[in-house]
Structure 1
């Protein structure tokens, strides 16, 4: 299955961002992509009033994504914000589209909130509570967002639920060592789960000169596709671009047969924890 990762910068204008999604989806579909992945916060960039945007939208932006996917006869995974609890939002990854005439629809709310380095995402975001997967063709895909990548158990849980590939949508924050961490963590999660990791980040505003609010995670680029053995199959630079890769179910089977970490793990079975 051919997939596309769209590395782009979103702005504070949801309609302008939707227009970019439409253009990039059409370009990816022409190249034969059955799945087109966009970054976290594609609907509206961090640093803007996310709660107001989610409340004002009333689901219209996601409905437009559905129409774009139908028009191009493909499936789109894209980062959005929806109303949460008590004036907060959910940081969500929604999947909409068509697979051989069948409607595909899945929603994932980010489970792990970024309460780190002095930032408290939990003050403005309602955490998700569930692992989500969806079926496309002969493959099962899992869903994850940004900070989730630091938690291996989420990825192994998705693999145990049948995921052959896991979509990781991000708007990764810049800073010392952050590029190195980003390029390390995804392949590590691919090895943990023996699944493909489709890691789609926002482009780097320092390169694209896109508007960015200081102190907000607005992307560093370097989107990539990691194979189940951690090998990078495709990698973007820092600017806006689309990268493509093929997801091969036979390769998943072969790697899991030779490296059966999911079956070999005892921590989820019978290891006793002792405190001294």
Structure 2
């Protein structure tokens, strides 16, 4: 399966960010991708007041993403914010396109490194997978990468690939952690991990407020054996990758960590 990861820098204006989604989706489709994944906070970057921009899944922003996916004939996965019942918002991944309509609400909130996502964002609770071209695909978001049980839950649900949109916070050691954690999660669950981060805002000529997770780039596709197959740098870019789904089965035969587990949730 050919996939695309769109490493972009989004701003506070949802309409302007939609224009990026449209352009990148059509580029991915022209390159033969069945799926294109965008970062967390594609709708509006962190540092924006999220309450005023949040919309329900049947609102105009998500509706336009559906139209873009339908016109291009590819599955689009993009981060947005939806209203939560308690007045906060939910950090949501919209997955839409041919034969796909689903949403994943980020389970693990980024209350770390001086940032308190839970102050404005309500946590999700459901593991979500989708099916693209006959392949089961798990959905995770950013800080979720620190919790291997979610990726194993994807594998238990039949997933051979997990998509990981992110807006990774910068700081000492954070790039090393990003790259290590993405590879580790692929090994934990012996599946492909496609991690798409916001591009480094500095590379796009934008400043980021202190302690705000604005992205560092370095999106990557990692095989089920933990090896990095393709990677971007810090600047915006579109990564196209061939994901050999049969490789998951062969790796699991050699290293059957899922079958050898003694403790399960």
TM-score by length of 2: 0.97
Q: Which residue of 2 aligns with 1:41?
A: 41
CA separation in 1, counterparts of 2:52 and 2:58?
10
Q: Which residue of 1 aligns with 2:135?
A: 139
The alignment status of 1:120 with 2:123, answered yes or no, reads no
Question: Stretches of 4+ moved more than 3 A in 1?
Answer: 55-58
CA separation in 1, counterparts of 2:191 and 2:56?
37
Q: Which residue of 2 aligns with 1:96?
A: 96
Deviation of 1:118 after TM superposition, in Å, equals: 3.0
The 8 Å contact of residues 40 and 146 in structure 1, kept in 2 or not, is answered as yes
Deviation of 1:207 after TM superposition, in Å, equals: 1.5
Counterparts of residues 1-276 of structure 1 (less than 5 Å): 1-55=1-55, 59-98=59-98, 103-268=99-264
| 1:222-257 Cα distance to aligned partner (Å, 9 max, x none) | 000000001111100100000111111211110111
Q: Secondary structure at the match of 1:25?
A: helix
CA separation in 2, counterparts of 1:96 and 1:181?
30
The 8 Å contact of residues 44 and 80 in structure 1, kept in 2 or not, is answered as yes
Deviation of 1:58 after TM superposition, in Å, equals: 6.4
| 1:145-180 Cα distance to aligned partner (Å, 9 max, x none) | 000000000100110111110000100000000000
Q: Secondary structure at the match of 2:122?
A: coil
CA separation in 1, counterparts of 2:56 and 2:225?
43
Q: Which residue of 2 aligns with 1:274?
A: none
Number of aligned positions between the proteins: 265
Q: Which residue of 2 aligns with 1:272?
A: none
CA separation in 2, counterparts of 1:146 and 1:209?
23
Q: Secondary structure at the match of 2:16?
A: helix
Structure of larger gyration radius:
1
